[in-house]
């Protein structure tokens, strides 16, 4: 005798659970919070400042991310510090971003229109960055906040946060190409830094990606 077991309850339960993450990512602000946390752990106050949201709104979004098991938190004195659950969340965000940029032509268009206001030259990608570092005669500068640099950075990069860059100009060579990067393709720090450096006579160019892009490229090269 054959027994027929319906898989419908199983499928309904699985896709219902998967949709929790999908619903969580439906908010632009929560996507931005995850992007910021991919740079390292941050307090609620720092996240509120970076996103120009109130602390109350940030806390509500973080609670939703917490319920979806995408972030976790710890207390340090009077501060609550959030971070991504693990590296898999960061890898997912990178894949999600690449898929969206490939399928939605308006994203590259928005990027190009915004960054042309700072820099009319084309930024370099991970392959070009690797080639230039291998050839040498370049200086790579990380203009993110120092805490993000400490969390992780591209090898050989020096940390000159964008707000302190002018104070470090004398430390940069004018006989080398300066490659600047920040948090990734949606961060304006590197473009602002390139604009400043060029006005001061430096040969500067922007790396469009961030640390996560660099790491993923290195993994692919090793496979």
- C-alpha–C-alpha distance, residues 197 and 74, integer Å: 39
Q: Domain boundary at 90, 123, 148, which?
A: 90
Q: Per the residue annotation, which of 37, 58, 154, 182 is the catalytic one?
A: 182
Q: With bands split at pLDDT 50, 70 and 90, how would you rate the model's confidence at 4?
A: low
Q: Average per-residue pLDDT in the chain? A: 94
Q: Domain boundary at 42, 60, 90, which?
A: 90
Q: With bands split at pLDDT 50, 70 and 90, how would you rate the model's confidence at 208?
A: very high
Instruction: Give the residue-averaged pLDDT of 103-123.
Output: 88
Q: Domain range spanning residue 22?
A: 8-90
When divided into structural domains, the chain yields a total of 2
Residues 85 and 114 in one domain: no
Q: Tell me: pLDDT of 134 over 70.
A: yes
In a domain, 97, yes or no: no
The model carries a pTM of 0.91
Q: CATH number, domain at 120?
A: 3.40.250.10
Q: With bands split at pLDDT 50, 70 and 90, how would you rate the model's confidence at 223?
A: confident
Task: Please give the pLDDT value at position 48.
Answer: 98
Residues 12 and 80 in one domain: yes
187 carries an active-site annotation: no
Residue 140: name the closest of 71, 47, 205 by CA: 205
Q: Domain boundary at 90, 118, 139, which?
A: 90
């Amino acid at each position: 005798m054959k027994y027929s077991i319906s898989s419908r309850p199983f499928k309904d339960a699985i896709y219902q659970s998967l949709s929790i993450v999908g619903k969580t990512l439906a908010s632009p602000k929560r996507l931005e919070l995850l992007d910021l946390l991919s740079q390292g752990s941050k307090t609620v106050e720092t996240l509120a400042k970076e996103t120009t949201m109130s602390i109350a709104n940030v806390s509500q979004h973080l609670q939703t991310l917490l319920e979806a098991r995408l972030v976790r938190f710890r207390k340090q004195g009077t501060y609550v510090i959030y971070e991504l659950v693990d590296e898999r969340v960061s890898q997912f965000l990178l894949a999600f971003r690449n898929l969206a940029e490939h399928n939605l032509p308006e994203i590259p268009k928005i990027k190009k229109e915004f960054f042309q206001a700072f820099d009319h030259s084309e930024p370099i990608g991970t392959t070009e960055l690797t080639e230039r570092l291998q050839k040498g005669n370049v200086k790579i500068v990380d203009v993110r906040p120092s805490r993000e640099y400490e969390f992780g950075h591209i090898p050989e990069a020096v940390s000159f946060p964008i707000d302190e860059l002018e104070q470090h100009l004398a430390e940069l060579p004018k006989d080398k190409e300066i490659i600047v990067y920040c948090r990734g393709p949606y961060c304006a720090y590197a473009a602002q830094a390139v604009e400043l450096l060029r006005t001061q006579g430096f040969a500067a160019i922007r790396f469009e990606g961030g640390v996560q892009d660099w790491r993923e490229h290195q993994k692919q090269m090793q496979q």
